[in-house]
Amino acid sequence: MRFAVDTGGTFTDLLVEHDDGRLTMHKAATTPQDPIAGVIDSLAKAAEAEGVSLGDLLAQGDLFIHGTTRAINAIVTGATARTAFLTTRGHPDILVLREGGRKDVFDFTVPFPEPYVPRSLTWEADERIMADGSVRRALDEAALVGALGEMKAAKVEAVAVCLLWSIVNPAHELRIGELIEAHLPGVPYTLSHAVNPSLREYRRASSTAIDASLKPLMSAYMGDLTARLRAAGYAGRVLIVTSNAGVIDASEAARAPIHLINSGPAMAPVAGRHFAEADAAAETAIVADTGGTTYDLSVVRRGGIPLTRETWIGGAYRGHMTGFPSVDVRSIGAGGGSIAWVDAGGLLRVGPQSAAAEPGPAAYGRGGEEPTVTDACVALGWLDPDFFLGGAMKLRADLSRAAIEARLCGPLGLSVEDAALAVIRVATENMVQAILDITVNQGIDPREAVLIGGGGAAGLNSERIAARLGCPTLLIPDVGAALSAAGALMSELVFECRAALFAQSGAFDSAAVNAVLDGLRARCEAFIAEAGEEAVESRIAFGAEARYPHQVWEIDLPLRAGAFAGEADIRAMVADFHAAHDEIFAISDPESEIEVVSWTARASCRLREGKLPSLGVAAGSAAAPVSRRRAYFERVGWVEAEARRFEALPAGAEFAGPALVESSFTTVVVGPGATYRRTASGGLSINPAKGA
């Protein structure tokens, strides 16, 4: 039995893959003060549904996969450890100056952002290693010991070490690590050459600082998670979702928490790719994961999941760059819990503020007084107050209408219904613009892509979004309400490593490059032999960070093989680079040589055979009658819309909107003019209304 849990801002999603081939889905409210409690609650709901005790359910499990926002939330809220930053003498401002960028280069009224680690907690090591790895100035250990004493007096809780050119010669960083262990026993530290051996001083320093600052918190979180699962009766393996669409052991996640920045959202495109291929035979997809708090977007391009190094926490130039490759996920503050409000100019806004899990939308009856997207859907009749979460939570339509009337109707001069529709229109447009940003920038035409709607709130306006974008097909998987958890069940164990070695195609040193690639291969093979011992299939893929001469930035280039046997292999790499550069930037220089600054290897271990099973037909739903419910739609007003059970739809048969397709975890709103059918995998395929 396998468990996959994704902790969101409002709900904690759980998928259970049973040994008999069944797949079941469960949700519990997220508990922000103690996220693990929400995880245990979701497991308890699964046990209750199976009619067994929590201990008996967990005793059957052999794999527990967890996606968590704990790391990113700690950074955003400032709950990370008090961290010291140690760098080469003369370079204390790496985190202050960053890369010099600004969102608006001419607006000097915006203050420069604070560094991730303040200058008051920055120390300098008297040492210097050159670009060729030679030692120009030996490490002054006596001075360093004094600095460590100052760190102790300053009560630092973690240390980030980033020295110049340690990626070529890590001797000084390694020695500093030994001295930290001797003079600051028990204080965790991160060495830049180990966590991110790449060029770009700011990016390497930033990833090192972020990693170090998260170690106390995430080490405690992973230990607590594992201990509480063990205490509840689970004895299997605990894996954590990483930012690069893979999973790693919880113990490894505690040692390198930088990998967890986008844990959770990174799994949505894994599931999206699966359903795009299975239900639409499509290689290009837009994957939208709509939760209660955020709208997370990613893409699948020609069957691949794009990664990016331009990952910012807190916005470009205003936040902090992770400096680490991760799935290209864009998030905006738009979800079921996003609050609708009228600004000083009389304009309707939706988000980014969210009612979250506590107090939640007004309809929850928990004290929330601000109208949200969920409240708008209740007021429009799209959500059945008696069947929210399968009836586990009763919604208060009167409170939704009251909140909209009190906060929106007067300032906007609209009725409750039209104000609610305006909320949906604004939220939809926010989402559309975010999709255009992530697709057009990558050369993807939304009119040629499939839209995958995931998350509990995805069905509320995904058909409107697809129509607005011109997408020919919208897919709502049967596990769409827990899309990231579904991706986690399909994920692979992943290990990535890199090494810096400058190489020019015109004077290519095959022996030196092959030696580096052999070293990377050995590290990957060691990972496969240990962590991937139980995998059903393992593979190693190699890559290079390459550029044209004098270019500032590199692009990631997959290599056809893990060694260069002769000139033909070099020419193939150069040709592949020209093609990749042309695809990304619409320009190339086929006559130019190329430069490679570092080499990468990625080991992937597949943990399962076959595809993810469908949820199947819920007990009693096969005979669920087709009912009608009053719902309000644009241009037609109040109508008697068909209300059908998601699980009871016969495969292949086509139906027309307006309709409300409901399950215990989501409601899919199909507007007038749209058609829909059940897919072979159990989801919904919707042809959006034209001109909506």
Give tens-digit pLDDT for 119-134: 999 999 999 999 999 9
Q: What pLDDT does residue 65 have?
A: 95
Q: In which domain, by residue range, is 319 found?
A: 267-334+427-489
**Inside any domain, residue 230:** no
User: Are 116 and 148 members of one domain?
Assistant: yes
> How far apart are alpha carbons 655 and 666 in whole angstroms?
19
User: Are 319 and 436 members of one domain?
Assistant: yes
**Inside any domain, residue 154:** yes
Tell me whether the omega of the peptide bond preceding residue 170 falls within 30 degrees of 0, making it cis. Answer: no
Boundary-marking domain end, from 368, 391, 423: 423
Domain count, the chain: 4
3 state SS for 517-585: HHHHHHHHHHHHHHCCCCCCEEEEEEEEEEECCCCCCCEEEECCCCCCCCHHHHHHHHHHHHHHHHHHH
Element (H, E) at 87: strand 83-88
Q: What pLDDT does residue 441 have?
A: 74
User: Are 434 and 313 members of one domain?
Assistant: yes
Q: What pLDDT does residue 624 have?
A: 58
Contact in structure between 658 and 670 (CB atoms under 8 Å): yes
> How far apart are alpha carbons 294 and 337 in whole angstroms?
9
**Inside any domain, residue 178:** yes
Q: What is the CATH number of the domain that holds 466?
A: 3.30.420.40
DSSP3 helix / strand / coil % (the chain, rounded to 5): 35, 25, 40
Contact in structure between 465 and 492 (CB atoms under 8 Å): no
> How far apart are alpha carbons 220 and 240 in whole angstroms?
14
> How far apart are alpha carbons 188 and 180 in whole angstroms?
9
> How far apart are alpha carbons 183 and 141 in whole angstroms?
12
Determine the Cα angle at 224 with ends 218 and 225, to 5°.
90
Q: What is the CATH number of the domain that holds 526?
A: 3.30.1490
Contact in structure between 265 and 327 (CB atoms under 8 Å): yes
> How far apart are alpha carbons 49 and 43 in whole angstroms?
10
**Inside any domain, residue 152:** yes
User: Are 535 and 521 members of one domain?
Assistant: yes
User: Are 435 and 311 members of one domain?
Assistant: yes
User: Are 441 and 321 members of one domain?
Assistant: yes
**Inside any domain, residue 385:** yes
Place of tokens 């086509």: 654
**Inside any domain, residue 75:** no
Residue-by-residue DSSP string for 28-45: EE--TT-HHHHHHHHHHH
Cα 348 from chain centre: 29
User: Are 433 and 365 members of one domain?
Assistant: no
**Residue 30 structure tokens:** 């997220």
C-alpha distances in Å from residue 223, one per residue of 114, 229, 253, 259, 681: 32, 10, 11, 17, 37
User: Are 304 and 437 members of one domain?
Assistant: yes
User: Are 343 and 412 members of one domain?
Assistant: yes
**Inside any domain, residue 637:** no
User: Are 552 and 598 members of one domain?
Assistant: yes
159 in helix, strand or coil? Answer: strand
User: Are 496 and 599 members of one domain?
Assistant: yes
Q: What pLDDT does residue 583 have?
A: 84
Task: Determine whether 137 is exposed, middle or buried from the number of CB atoms within 10 Å of its CB (0-12, 13-18, 19+).
Answer: middle
Contact in structure between 320 and 85 (CB atoms under 8 Å): no
C-alpha distances in Å from residue 513, one per residue of 402, 403, 500: 68, 65, 10
**Inside any domain, residue 640:** no
User: Are 169 and 316 members of one domain?
Assistant: no
Boundary-marking domain end, from 187, 207, 224: 187
Low-confidence ranges of the chain (pLDDT < 70): 357, 616-625, 691-692
Q: What pLDDT does residue 558 have?
A: 94
Element (H, E) at 300: strand 295-300
Contact in structure between 263 and 402 (CB atoms under 8 Å): no
The helices-and-strands tally (H runs, E runs) of the chain is: 18, 34
The set of residues, in sequence order, having a beta carbon less than 8 Å from that of 49 and lying 6+ positions away, is: 24, 26
Q: What pLDDT does residue 178 have?
A: 97
Boundary-marking domain end, from 544, 579, 606: 606
